[in-house]
Chains A and B, each alone.
Chain A
């Protein structure tokens, strides 16, 4: 294929509850270091959740942090880190040909809750409602904050796609590059969801909020005793370029994006549909022009809910039943559910497998639910494979949105 039609990843900037760059994050995943702790959630008391501890002021002034949002702050940190990591000579980049495409689960809950809380503290005086509320809560705000911070004048927007957001943001970046709309895409997913009590309360109301006296063990996908989701924040933004451009500047290439698919269950608001998930994975494999048995690693979405994990386990088992060499892991045992950031973060956590040949384990699955048993499941201990060529990353979300993304080791 023509190099101008091949899209590669040349920079990664991330913050996760257990690492503020790729090497820290990878180390935590291999060593089963959790980022989930007890945090005080408004009205609800201590809850197991993942918060990030990156330096908010590394790339942003205090004033603009105050004016913006936590999601914007996470995005700005990740975008700057990704650019630095890519080795791009940012001053000479044509900013009108740079686009920002960020997947989000939701946006505006944190800011709206805070305004309502403040109003209640002040005798319901609506005149105290902040003039910043609208720019903070428009759906493009986190991507827009990145453009303001980096003087990017190309397109920017977010992609509301529930917990498939991380994959969807990357896919949008790929498509914009292939269309020639941009030369560089800052693409990925972000989330500030753990800053809002409403999401905790709603998962609690669904009976799907993770609970454990040891917060590091609260999120335990595929385990028989799992009891829900540990809500986390995070972000991961990639620098995507056409292979021709990356080669021209001698860039370090992490991976090539060779396949992707997004589809819809059209069955239920919250319960997943395994058949559609299989169709989504197969469609991505088809687009990559490979076969199921070429996939070395599948990172499951695996959130730690009763129904969701069983559905996805059945889907992955069936989708990969003809492959003996595909190994399966998941990431939310370590970091909880980073919502809109989950897809892009979890993919990043697996990309170093191309270099070190290891599969990081899924964490906290000490008593595997027989209904979730899958061959070649990597849990609690890393597995050395040696040569890893293809990784498939699943990310699914409410209202039945499914996404699968396949990256390939780049060999010059």
Chain B
């Protein structure tokens, strides 16, 4: 079973390397805790596709708001790949 939380954190670390991702609150929105903009979220979607063959349709982007929602939304997708 993929560690979806860690996968998302690894991607964020790569696209926002200046940010400290060691103490993220899973329930809080990522944008509240990190300097991320809409282009960064496009990068997250792109990296999920490139590295893990996981697709996130545009209407589902809001479901990547927090680490908790990322895990809830992405885990079934990772289970399929």
Report B-chain residues with C-beta under 8 Å of the C-beta of A128: 46, 49-50
Residue A291 CB within 8 A of the other chain = no
Q: How far is the CA of A63 from the CA of B39 in the complex (A)?
A: 11
B49 touches which one: A61, A63, A127, A132 (CB < 8 A)? A127
Report B-chain residues with C-beta under 8 Å of the C-beta of A132: 39, 43
Q: Is the interface of B mostly helix, strand, loop or mixed?
A: helix
Distance to closest chain A CB from B52 (angstroms)? 12
Closest residue on chain B to residue A130 by CB atoms: B46
Check if A63 sits within 8 Å of B15, measured CB to CB. Answer: yes
B18 touches which one: A61, A122, A130 (CB < 8 A)? A61
Check if B42 sits within 8 Å of A131, measured CB to CB. Answer: yes
Q: How far is the CA of A63 from the CA of B17 in the complex (A)?
A: 6
Number of interface residues of A (CB under 8 A): 11
Q: How far is the CA of A67 from the CA of B16 in the complex (A)?
A: 10
Size class of the contact patch on chain B: 10 to 19
Check if A63 sits within 8 Å of B16, measured CB to CB. Answer: yes
Check if B39 sits within 8 Å of A131, measured CB to CB. Answer: yes
Check if A67 sits within 8 Å of B46, measured CB to CB. Answer: no
Check if B17 sits within 8 Å of A62, measured CB to CB. Answer: yes
Q: How far is the CA of A162 from the CA of B15 in the complex (A)?
A: 33
Check if A66 sits within 8 Å of B42, measured CB to CB. Answer: no
Report A-chain residues with C-beta under 8 Å of the C-beta of B46: 128, 130-131
Given contacts A63-B16, A63-B18, A131-B42, 11 further A-B contacts (CB under 8 A): A62-B18, A63-B19, A122-B50, A127-B49, A128-B46, A128-B49, A130-B46, A131-B39, A131-B43, A131-B46, A132-B43
A131-B43, A132-B39 given as contacts; is B50 within 8 A of A66 (CB)?
no
- Contact bitstring B25-44, A, C-beta under 8 A = 1, else 0: 00000000001000110110
Q: How far is the CA of A61 from the CA of B19 in the complex (A)?
A: 10
Residues of A359-403 whose CB lies within 8 A of B: none
Q: How far is the CA of A132 from the CA of B43 in the complex (A)?
A: 9
Report B-chain residues with C-beta under 8 Å of the C-beta of A63: 15-19, 35, 40
